[in-house]
Every structure is written in structure tokens, then in C-alpha cells.
Amino acid sequence: MTDTTSQQFTFKAETKQLLNILIHSLYKDREVFLRELLSNASDALNRLRFEMVTNHNVLDSAAELNIRITADKDSRTITIQDTGIGMTRDEMIENLGTIAQSGARKFLDAAKDSKVDLTQVIGQFGVGFYSVFMVAEWVRVTSHSFNPDAEAVSWYATGDDNYQIDRADMSERGTKVEIKLKEDAAEFAEEYRLKNIIHKHSDYIGFPIYLGESKDAVNKQTSLWRTSKQEVTDEQYKEFYRQTTLDFEDALTHIHVSTDAPVQLYALLYIPSKAERGMFSLRKEDGLKLYSRNILIDEYNKDLLPEYLRFVQGVVDSEDLPLNVSRETVQSSGLMPKLKKVLTNQVIKELESLAKNNAEKYQTFWQEFGPYLKQGVAATPMDADTINPLLRFKTNLNPETWSSLEEYVSRMKEEQKVIYYIVGEDPKSVLRSPHLDYFHSQGTEVLLLTDPMDSFMLMGLHKYKDYELKNVSSAEVDANEKPKEQPEAEKIPEADFSTLLARFKIVLGERVTDVRASNRLYQSVARLADADDTVNPELQRVYRFLGKEYEIPKKILELNPSHGILKKLLKLESDSALQDIIIEQIYDSALLIEGLHPDPSSMASRVQQIMEAALAGKVE
């Protein structure tokens, strides 16, 4: 320590504002002050236990790791003492005199939102300790660091502008928080009240909490994930999730795992109801909490599940991990792949069960987390067979409902040998794609892929069971198949159509590689097709989404020889300006439908010209 004399400090302006809110405004659920102090004590004990794994030079090394609460209702005082890692004078000033990472400012910003229950999110901002001033006239914190050479120190504050740091007489390791309760908070000096709060908020803290002189712990101590499933209620699962994440919405489902083979592990995993973390979420990164025999080793372990399941929250505890494993080396442990395999199987199994038994809830899951699974198909091909049954799609025949690949296959025509799909920009416009003309006419079902991640997914999704996937834009069709329930339209005479094709080629020039008749258009006037040697459409979209520089490949423009627009186009004066701008518009419209038009607004003046011509009666 650099200085052990008594010294007075002034709180920063933001801390003063914070204390003012806590003292004068927050009276709902004031009991949370005890939850926050017990949480801090548990953290201090966890830190010490981790320290003792590699450091045996610890003050009172034989002392039990515990928390003791004593109360005196006559003097309205509570004392909460732990045998944790303790604090030096400098650490006391850093931890209690200031608020790291501008936590006060963030808390104050949150306080402006009247819908937020601040008593439930105090701990997130690093200001949990200050909630004690909701009930306290004054607070004294006395601490002795685990370092045998350190000296004890105390911190004293009344919630006013100042706090005081002094030397202290405390020989044992740990931290003691003494609270003088306000008159209207005297209830918290009653042991029955303290016991109820502990059971409600802190039952599963992994260290004994003693009350008064009792030698029996008030809390269960056993971590919830180590508790038998039969002994855990739904409300306890929900409360643990809320405490762990501060998510205001219940998780979609939880997975409680306890197994001895092929590895020993306990796990309690949750699938959130939303992909996006709330502004008050405690979990700032992806990853699971990893414990070894109840010792927290890694707060955000990203090696326990594959990347495509990174949305899963929860804890994993394995006694097979050596106690001397460090946070830095745990990733290289040979045990990790085994743990990962078990946990991945459990999550997949739960998702399969959810899809089978609760389609509505699985639809919620898919809409939130579907892109993660699609990424998994693309990035982890060896897991594709596992992920594919979990994929969901809308189709041209069922555009409002989600279907699995298995459901699609069950509805396939007997002669159908492939699974058809179409890639588009959005669910509504893709249904108007000319590529679907033939398939609509035959009543053939087509998967609608309109999510940006779909193009990446297709890099790994080439077949399902024995069925290959084919893009309708390039799939071969039977030209002899006639449209069902539709009369066949009369085609433009071949000579006239050849003249029209020639004019299209002159007007469009090098923008297209060819203009030809289509054998698969019924409702649409034209479509753009890829030449045989061009990059496939899925890869073209991937390049676009990645922002990579590449030249949009020139397409083949296919025309519908039976379409009324082309028939009337022939009636216009050959080589006329109106004929040319209609040709330009047909091409631009095809680009627009494909999502390839570089400047859609440029069509406005041409569309106006066409409307003026129509209104002038120049087009029959």
C-alpha cells in the first residue's frame, strides 16, 4: 500500500446522481440490495478459489469459503462477511470509490426509461454495491486481501458527497460489509426476512451462507445444474435464466444434462426467445460459462458448441477438467472436443424434439435463429446431414407456412427426381419471377429462398437424402409439357419473331450475350438466363453480399413467343423510338426482378414516356 492514513474522497458527479436515484427514487423491491451484496461475496469467493488453484501463499488458506450474515434488529444493523479474495486499499478505492466503464452514466441513461425496472438490472452496470443505499443510513466495508503482506482497510460512506478510507483492525481474510438500516428498512434486520430473500435470489450460490450463529447453511449451495432434474421446478429454471442473462423474456426451452459417459459433465443450457440481446443483457459475448468442479474457468467459452449454435446460453461443469487448468489453456484441453460433441448432440436433440412436439414454438425459434443454422450448413459441411432436417422453407404453393425438407419431399410428384428452389430478393417479388412460370403451370412446388444467408447455405446444401437441389432458373424442363388448366396461347409466326429477336439484339447490344425464344414462359414476357460458362446465381449473390468486386455476368434474354406485349410490339413502326424504349423496359424489368438492376430509379423517365404513348393511343 502506498498510504495507510485516514483520507477523505469526493464521489464523482455521476456517482452522486446515481446515489441520489438509489436513495430517493428506487423503493420497489429494495430487497435486491442483499442479492447484489451476496453476488459480490460469491464472486470474491470464486476468485479466491481460482487463485488457490495455483497459489498456495494465501492468508488463512485453511479457512472455509463461506458467507455469514448477522443482524441486530434492536440496533438496525446487518453485517455480511465473506472469506473471499479481499481488497487492498487501492482496490477498495477502485472498486467502491469509482464506477468502472462509465457504469453510472449508462445506469442513469437507463433510468430515463420509465418501463425499465432498475432494481432488476442494477448489477449489469457495475453499480450493484450501491443499491445498499436504498436501505442504509451508512455503510462500512472492511477488507483484508488474500495477500499475507497486505494490510486491512475500511471504506465508510453515508450516501452523501464523500467517502472515507481508513486503516482497519481485521486479521482474517475477506470482506465485511456493515450496514446501518434506515428506520423504514428495519424489516431487513429480521432473520426470517433475510432467509426468505436468500431462498428467493441466492439459493444456488455455490458457497454456504450462514445466518446468525447457525452452523447450518441457509442456501442449498448445490449449483442448479448439479441438482437432479426431478428436484428443480419450472420457476427455478426460469429464475436461474433471468439471473444469468437478465433477459426479461423467458427462454424458449432449456436443456438439463447430467452424464458420466463418454465424459462426466453437468450442463444447464437455454435457447433464448430472441436472437438480439437486450440492452440490459448480462451476456455481452457469445459463449458458455465453463466450470471445473464448481470453479468458474471461463466466462465466455466458445469451444463447447459449434459456431452455428453460438446463440445458446448457459453453464457447463465437468469434473474431468483438471483443477490446475488455466483460463488460457482450457481451449487446448483434449477434453473439449468430447464435451463439444455431447453438448452439440443434446442441443440438436432438443431442437428436433421442439420441432416435432411444438411446431409453433419451433417456428418462433426458426424465425429468430434460422440464419445461424443456415450458416452452419455452409461453414460446417460435415454437420449438414444433422442440420438439414432442422431447416424450414416457404414454397410457391405454401407461401405462408414453413415446411421442412422432409415435408417437401412427401409432397413431391411421383416422377419428380429433384428438389427445386428459387433465389430472390424478397418473399413477395420472388413469387412473380418468370423463372417460376413453368413450375406454376405444372403445379410443381419450389422452395423460396429470399434470406441473404440462403445463398451461403446453398454452398453446402447440394442434396437432401437422394434428391439433388436444383435452381429453377437453370433446371431443365420438358418443353412438351402443356400448362395445366390453361389454353395454349398462339405463338408469333417464326419469321416475325426472328425479326423481333434481331431488333432486341440491336437495341441491347453487348449488354446481353444472346436473345432467344423461351420454351418455359407462360405468364411472363421475358426472363434472364445464365450462359453455360457463367458463375452460378448463388455464388453471384454471395459475391454481392460480401461486397466483393466482380462484374455482373452478361445474361441471355429469353422471350415468350406467345406474349401479348411482344405481339403488339411487332405492330409498332419498325425501328421506332417507342419500340426501342419498350425493348429497353422489358430488359430493365427483367434485371429488376433478378435483383441486378444497378439504378432502378433511372427507369422512371422511360416509364413516363411509355405511359404518355399509351394515353395518346399510339399502342392498340
pLDDT exceeds cutoff 50 at 327: no
User: Kind of pairing, strands 447-449 and 394-395?
Assistant: antiparallel
Report the 10 Å Cβ neighbour count for 502. 11
**Bigger pLDDT: 69 or 25?**
69
State the average pLDDT for the chain. 85
Residue 121 pLDDT class (50, 70, 90 cuts) = very low
- What pLDDT shows up at residue 2? 42
Question: Which string of b and e fits 381-397 if b means at least 16 CB within 10 Å?
Answer: eebbebbbebbbbbbbe
Is the N-terminal amide bond of 262 cis, ω within 30° of 0? yes
CATH 3.30.230.80 maps onto the chain at: 224-357
| Cell 417507342, residue located | 578
- What pLDDT shows up at residue 100? 39
Note the pLDDT tens digit of each residue in 268-292: 999 999 988 776 666 778 999 888 7
CATH architecture designation of domain 224-357: 2-Layer Sandwich (3.30)
Local structure of residue 203 (DSSP, 8 states):
T
How far apart, in whole angstroms, are the C-alpha atoms of residue 417 and residue 351?
29
Specify the fold of 494-615. Answer: Four Helix Bundle (Hemerythrin (Met), subunit A) (1.20.120)
**Bigger pLDDT: 441 or 179?**
179
> Rg of the chain over CA atoms, in angstroms?
34
Residue 131 pLDDT class (50, 70, 90 cuts) = confident
Grid coordinates in use for 608? 413516363
- What pLDDT shows up at residue 101? 38
List the CATH code of the domain at 377-471.
Answer: 3.40.50.11260
pLDDT exceeds cutoff 90 at 206: no
Q: What average pLDDT does this structure show over 468-479?
A: 85
Helix (H, G, I), strand (E, B) or coil at 180: strand
Residue 222 pLDDT class (50, 70, 90 cuts) = confident
- What pLDDT shows up at residue 530? 83
How far apart, in whole angstroms, are the C-alpha atoms of residue 129 and residue 105?
16
Note the pLDDT tens digit of each residue in 334-348: 788 999 999 999 999
Residue 95 pLDDT class (50, 70, 90 cuts) = confident
CATH 1.20.120.790 maps onto the chain at: 494-615
| Cell 403451370, residue located | 441
CATH 3.30.565.10 maps onto the chain at: 7-211
CATH 3.40.50.11260 maps onto the chain at: 377-471
Helices 336-357 and 359-379: angle between axes, nearest 10 degrees: 140
pLDDT exceeds cutoff 50 at 324: no
Note the pLDDT tens digit of each residue in 551-603: 667 889 999 999 999 999 998 887 788 999 999 999 999 988 887 788 889 89
- For residue 176, what are the β-bridge partners? 81, 142
Angstrom distances, CA of residue 482 to CA of 104, 130, 215, 438: 72, 77, 87, 9
Angstrom distances, CA of residue 337 to CA of 256, 262, 312: 20, 11, 17
- What pLDDT shows up at residue 56? 86
Residue 331 pLDDT class (50, 70, 90 cuts) = low
**Bigger pLDDT: 137 or 319?**
137
Instruction: Please work out, in degrees rounded to the nearest 5, the angle formed at the alpha carbon of residue 192 by the alpha carbons of 188 and 196.
Output: 85
List the CATH code of the domain at 7-211.
Answer: 3.30.565.10
Grid coordinates in use for 391? 431447416
CB 311 within 8 A of CB 372: yes
- For residue 517, what are the β-bridge partners? 559
Angstrom distances, CA of residue 562 to CA of 393, 480, 494, 525, 609: 33, 15, 11, 8, 25
Poorest-confidence range of 13-27, 240-254, 268-282, 356-370? Answer: 13-27
Longest dimension (CA), the chain: 108
